[in-house]
Amino acid sequence: MLRVNFSRCAAAASVAIAGTVLLSGQADAAVYLNGSNTSTFDVTLKIIANCTISAANLDFGQSQGVLATAVNVNTTVNVTCTNTTPYNVGLTAGSGTGSSGTTRYMSGTGGNLGKVQFNLYQTAGATLWGDTQGTDTVGATGNGTSQPLTVYGNIPPQATPAPDTYKSTITATVYF
């Protein structure tokens, strides 16, 4: 004879049904009991006219002998300005003794007082590059990326001073 315990089956079914209702009820509560609101916010940035400048050294060589012929080399000045920002780049006379305007000298770094005359040009052998805005500076308009400007260096033939290392420090300035 088969005996079935209906009270245990009924209790198990009721727990199973209650669990389903409870789980179903919790999911519905999460969807229907929580409201929502929104808010907006602005993201802003103000770009101002700005420029940066960097320059590479100009090296006329480390084994130059008699200065009987011209020595020509070049270097680059890199200017980065905000898009549409007009700018001018000036080069100072330098730190060599007797330098002024676009007349430039490198001074001996040892104990001697010798100097070597040199020129910095905007184009090879043409317009001297100085630091007087509107007269001898190089102008352009920024495009938001680095813009290289070539500096053409020249040592003209001249009386050769004593052996030594000769140097001048030039300051490149971007005006905007």
Q: pLDDT tens digits for 138-157?
A: 999 999 999 999 999 999 99
Considering the chain, tell me which residue range(s) the CATH 2.60.40.1090 domain(s) occupy.
Answer: 51-175
Structure-model confidence comparison of residues 57 and 31, the more confident one: 57
Rounded Cα distance between 170 and 94, Å, is 4
The pair of three-digit structure tokens given for residue 133, joined into one six-digit string: 């805005």
pLDDT in tens, 45-85: 999 999 999 999 999 999 999 999 999 999 999 999 999 99
Residue 20 has pLDDT above 80, yes or no: no
What CA–CA distance (Å, rounded) separates 118 from 102?
9
In angstroms, rounded to a whole number, what is the distance separating the alpha carbons of residues 136 and 130? 5
| DSSP reduced 3-state for 155 | strand
The residues near 143 (Cβ < 8 Å, ≥ 6 apart) are 81, 83
Q: What is the mean pLDDT of residues 111-135?
A: 95
Query: Given pLDDT bands bounded at 50, 70 and 90, which one contains residue 115?
Result: very high
- Please, what is the average pLDDT of the chain? 88
Note the helical H segments in 74-149.
none
Asked if residue 125 has pLDDT above 90, the reply is no
Q: What is the pLDDT of residues 86-103, one digit of tens each?
A: 999 999 999 999 999 999
Residue with token string 């009386």? 159
What distance in Å separates the CA atoms of residue 51 and residue 19, rounded to the nearest whole number?
A: 69
Q: Enumerate the β-bridge partners of residue 106.
A: 116
Give the CATH fold of the 51-175 domain: Immunoglobulin-like (2.60.40)
